[in-house]
Amino acid sequence: MPAAQTALVIGGGIAGPVAATALTMAGIDAAVYEARDPAGANGIGGSLALEPNGLAVLAIVGADDAVRAAAAPITRSVMSMGSKPGRDMPAPQGLPPRQLIDRGALHRILRDRAQRAGVRIHDGKKLIRIDEQPDEQRDGVTAHFADGSSASADLLVGADGVHSTVRRLIDPDAPGARYLNLLGFEGVADDAADTAELEPGTMTFAFGRRAYYLYWKRPDGRIGWGANLPSEQYLTLMQARAVAAEDWLHTLRSAYANDIPGARLAAETTGETLQAVGGLHIMPPVPHWHRGRMVLVGDAVHAPSNSTGQGASLAMESAVQLARCLRDLPDVPSAFAAYERLRRPRVEKIAARGARISHAKAPGPIAQRLMAVMVPLMVTTLNIEKTMAAEQSYAIDWNAPALQDAEALA
């Protein structure tokens, strides 16, 4: 018997549908409540790289084949400084390639998979309040939504992203997401002559003179690129999107003016393909991952910054590990405690790595002059190959009892 019979999952992004699918597989009836309407709207859009550990989780919930079919493999990673030729980055041996997928396509696949597992997905349900009602028969929780409706279950999973409402309901003093002094953008360059030689399957991470960017050849032959623009001024997604794309392009063209191929990518990108993301974040360690019948997964509790390329993969890992603990531990408090014990060290270590990289992406004026020395040094001191192998070879054994793993860490 699982530790609970029913669950409300708040948030239908990445962690939410995966958590709901895994909970259903664990014998817990789960429903997802997503603030956005219409169904499937994908928020920040753009592309997302899934690491081998993320694909391993997708295999557990039976969504890996669909993701691979919709994604493009990235088989080579290159790091470049300024306009110098890039250096190949070491890749862990024996692991499948990371997969680059459109965020909207990933959302659709995860939602479809959850629905096929029997999960009910309710869109337009913004959580605003929770009642924890100790029932005469059993404990439970009631979620209240902005449209006046409510829903009750044995427990509530907060998969509501980096600005989580559930995090504050668990602990009003919980830290908020920290702004990394970087604004995010993604665009597509129609014709970038400087990248004519670029092989499909190669992702280049480029530290430009004034700003970091990354680029890759898309299956349609055009060049996709992402920009991290240093900015002291914080902007939400909506605020960034309120600025005209042409104005952002003007700013990006100036920021990358002295970079090859950054200047060309910015010049060849049109307003139609440019997507502003707003401020990029990292979650500082969250003191309380759960309270009573409420628990957090994904960015709501451990957003590791986009610099790690691990946010979505870690979110899905936590979702599956939580379901496994609820399946195998005798009651909800011990399942939540085991879940936190299994997840906290890994996600906080990866977030610490992300913080160091993000720092290098938004250097102060002195550090900026030292970048050519700093970045290769950072790659060496991070022991990138060993670090990547530890991060990417991680796999959850769904069929093994969670109790054993949790006891080993106790």
Ligand X SMILES: Cc1cc2nc3c(=O)[nH]c(=O)nc-3n(C[C@H](O)[C@H](O)[C@H](O)COP(=O)(O)OP(=O)(O)OC[C@H]3O[C@@H](n4cnc5c(N)ncnc54)[C@H](O)[C@@H]3O)c2cc1C
Binding residues for ligand X restricted to 21-40, rule: CB under 6 A: 33-36
In angstroms, rounded to a whole number, what is the distance separating the alpha carbons of residues 291 and 274?
Answer: 41
Contact 252, 273 (CB under 8 A): no
Structure tokens at 173: 């003093």
Out of 48, 110, 119, 153, name the contact with ligand X by CB under 6 A. 48
Q: How far is the CB of 17 from ligand X (least distance, A)?
A: 8
Contacts of 240 (CB under 8 A, 6+ apart): 183, 248, 276, 277, 278, 279
Task: Pick between residue 49 and residue 274 the one whose CB is nearest to ligand X.
Answer: 49
Residue 67 is a binding residue for ligand X (CB under 6 A):
no
3-class state of residue 343 by DSSP: helix
Structure tokens at 338: 């085991």
Out of 280, 283, 295, 396, name the contact with ligand X by CB under 6 A. 280
Residue 303 is a binding residue for ligand X (CB under 6 A):
yes
Residue 306 is a binding residue for ligand X (CB under 6 A):
yes
- DSSP state letter for 164: -
Task: Pick between residue 9 and residue 328 the one whose CB is nearest to ligand X.
Answer: 9
Q: How far is the CB of 212 from ligand X (least distance, A)?
A: 12
* Segment contacting ligand X by CB under 6 A, of 1-9, 20-28, 129-137, 306-314: 306-314
In angstroms, rounded to a whole number, what is the distance separating the alpha carbons of residues 104 and 161?
Answer: 16
Out of 182, 315, 338, 371, name the contact with ligand X by CB under 6 A. 315
Task: Pick between residue 8 and residue 332 the one whose CB is nearest to ligand X.
Answer: 8
Site of tokens 């493009």: 72
In angstroms, rounded to a whole number, what is the distance separating the alpha carbons of residues 117 and 124?
Answer: 21
* Environment class of 336 (CB within 10 Å of its CB; exposed 0-12, middle 13-18, buried 19+): buried
CA angle 175/177/181 to nearest 5° reads: 130
Residue 16 is a binding residue for ligand X (CB under 6 A):
yes
Task: Pick between residue 46 and residue 376 the one whose CB is nearest to ligand X.
Answer: 46
Q: How many residues bind ligand X (CB under 6 A)?
A: 36
Residues that bind ligand X (CB under 6 A): 10-16, 33-36, 43-44, 48-49, 125-127, 159-161, 165, 184, 277, 280, 298-300, 303, 306, 309-313, 315
